[in-house]
Every structure is written in structure tokens, then in C-alpha cells.
Structure 1
Amino acid sequence: MILYPAIDLKDGQCVRLYKGEMDQATVFSDDPAAQAKLFEDAGCEWLHLVDLNGAFAGEPVNAAAVEGILARCRVPAQLGGGIRDMATIERWLDKGLARVILGTVAVRDPALVKQAAKAFPGQVAVGIDARDGLVAVQGWAETTDTLAVDLARQFEDAGVAAIIYTDIDRDGAMGGPNVGATAALAQAVRIPVIASGGVSSLDDLRALKACGAPLDGAISGRALYDGKIDLAEAVALLKG
């Protein structure tokens, strides 16, 4: 399993939200590139970037911050938030992103996801964010009637590199991940699944690793900033 440190970008700053609420943001750094470099120096193998403003706007907003991170760090990075057309996908990959994450558009236009996954093998992931098992879109502002597992199954043979599954009610709440729902999703599809939302301790990572499903990795944000998870120790745990 891979540990993905999360860098959530709002107004050019590195923040963490509480349960996806934009008005409940805690600023952790005014220099996202420096924060990313700290994670890289501590031994991370990937970075997980989210353009929070972009998720609401439907187009990239924190591009300068993302480009700063890409210029500063050598480890691969994946980015979600406001990526909803082929031109934007291609532009980000050309700028050096290893992987784009498609969330809202996976619900609105699944054909685009399949087209992108075919055009850019291994570089397109699907972000599935759910409340009570139902997919939420538009920066989590709108909950659909689509079940997370049903959405995942739509992309079973599309060549999608990974699914990032986030339990919104766990995100930023430091209450532990939804291990059961994450494992159930990973067992329902052959696509690699990355757990997100609520990962706040080494015990959480142990629980995900031992969940009985072959998870690809886990994302953690607030716990790394608060010092509740030591990144180097977590990387060693998940590798062991």
C-alpha cells in the first residue's frame, strides 16, 4: 500500500476542510510547494493534490500552486478538482502530473472518462466521493442517487488506473476511515482502490491494510499536519 499525503488547495493556500465544508477550512501552509517538499523529504512516494476552488468552479483555479508543487518535487502527483474536459486533462498531464482524478464528470459524462483512460493509459483515476453510500458531486455540494459501487462498476473495463474512494462524513473529522465501505468497494471491482477520509492514526492504516481487500493505498491529510501520523513511520508500516 502507498501513503498519499493530501495537499488541498484553497485560495492558493494548503488547507483541510471539515466534512467537505468550504467555510470550515483550516489553513496549514501559505506555501503549498514547500509543504509538498516536506512530504517528499519525509519519504512519500506520491502526492495527492486537490483544487478545492476548482471543484466548485468546474475549472482549474489553483493552477499556480499546483505548478509550483510540480516544479519543486520529483515524486509523482495526482490532482483532482475542476478537471472536466479532455483539453484540461491533456494540459495537466503535459505540465507533468502523473495522474488526473475525474470526479463530477464521472457521473455527468462517463463516456469522457472512458475516452480519457484510453487516450492516457495509467494516468486517469476516478474520484468517488460518497455520503451514506451515495455519490456526491460539484465539490460535494450535491448528492446524487447513484450508489458508489454502481458508479465504480461502470468503469470496470475502461482502463482506469485507480478509484479514490472518500467517505465525506469522515473527511477531516479525525474519526477513522470507513473501512467496511472501502473494503466492500474494493472487493466489488478489479480497479485498484485508494482509501480516503478520516485516516488519522497508524491504527487506521493497519485496519485498512488488514481489511481483507487489496487496497492500493490510503490518503491522509490533517493527521499528517497535526503530527498524529509520522509520515516516515506510516510509509514503513504500509510497505512492511
Structure 2
Amino acid sequence: MSPIVRASGLRKTYGSGETAVTALRDVDVAFDAGQLTAIMGPSGSGKSTLMHCIAGLDRADGGSVVVDGVELGSLDDRRLTELRRDRIGFVFQAFNLLPVLTAEENIVLPMTIAGRRPDAEWLEQLVATVGLTDRRHHRPSELSGGQQQRVAVARALASRPAVVFADEPTGNLDSRSSEEVLRLLRRAVDEFDQTVVMVTHDAHAASIADRLLVLQDGRIVHDGPAGTSEDVHARLQAATDQVG
């Protein structure tokens, strides 16, 4: 089976001349279906740039990205927007919920924009899975940060996307809410056969993953099982020391 996401020879540079910063240096990586991958690295390592390029949020300067069989470089802006809406789920640190909509309306928003009706049975299952059955008609201002992020996770899963990208999904949450969100992402993989790629700076968050990628200076310097939080710390430190 082909990977859900594959990047080949990915290159990205910001700026030009003496001030140019190379964020990605010929990165090759693939993500298989039904797996949770954590991406880590120090500030400036290229981890967020990698996610933005493979998720179609930014265009690389070179190389190719294929998502669910579609080469992103072949798409114009309109078709790229449609692909992101229909085949990719996103969970961001800042939740990105519309304040005038209820939790349920936020969950189905991508389908509403696409003019599609949500699968009622799947929606009920999702709302129950994220533990918001009794809060589905509340607006974001009436929800805690953890509840808002659970709405965001449900929204990311609502269209049954090919892949979910989570960018620091626990960055704005307390430890209890973080655990709830991490459990949801793990369940999405284990119970719904979802593919999840998560950028995080948190070793504990990374330890729930099946696979750990560590970036340094725009290159992948570790690719293997995540292991425990202590394992993640050790691998991140070793990779950083190796490059340094």
C-alpha cells in the first residue's frame, strides 16, 4: 500500500542573499496509513516548515509532496484549497473555532462550506467520542480550552480525511486537558484507523506516537519508534548533539 503522504527532495528557503535561511534540505519522508507520527526538533529545525509544506499550507521551493495520491505541486490555489478541505484535517494550537457558531456547527463547518450534509451517525459518534454530547450547542466562549480543542479534533475528523495534521495541539492546554486531547488523537488512530502527524515540543506528547521524527537544521536526524518520554528526551538530545 502506498503511503498516505510522501515528500521527496523537499527544499524550502526563506529570504535571499546573506540573510537567507534554509528551513528544509532535501527532505525525504513518507507517512503510512493508520499511524501516529510525532515530529520534534529545536526551534528553527524545520519541523513546522515541514508540516506546512506537506499539508499544503505552504509551497516548497523544490521537491514534491503527494497526499492521498495527489501531487500538490500540480494543483492551483483553488484545487489545493479543496484538497485541504476535503482530504486533510487540521488541529492547531490556537483552536481556530468561529465564536459565533456552536460546537456542533464548528465541527461540521468544513462540510457546510463544501455544501455537503454530515453523516448523522458518524457525527453522533464523534461528539460522543470527544465527550461533548451535553455541550454541543454551546459556543466556544462557553467552553474550556480543553473542550474547545476537543471540538477542533472532532472537526478535523469529521470528513474522514486521509490525514490529520496537528500543530502543537496541547500547547495552550493544562496537563489534564492535554491528556484528554492526546488520548483522542491516539483513539483516532487505533479505533478509526486515522493517520495523524503531530508537531510537538512536549516529550510526553511525542511518547504516545508510534513513530518519532527529529529534525535539526532542516534535515531528519532521527526516524524510529517513539518509546517512552525518557526515550524521546534521549533521542532528541542525541540527535541534537550529533549535529552540533
Max Rg structure: 2
Higher relative contact order (CA 8 A, sep 6+): 2
TM over 0.5: no
Question: For the superposition of Structure 1 and Structure 2, which TM-score range results when normalised by the shorter chain?
Answer: 0.3 to 0.5
Given the two structures, how large is their TM-score scaled by the length of structure 2?
A: 0.37
Given the two structures, how large is their TM-score scaled by the length of structure 1?
A: 0.38
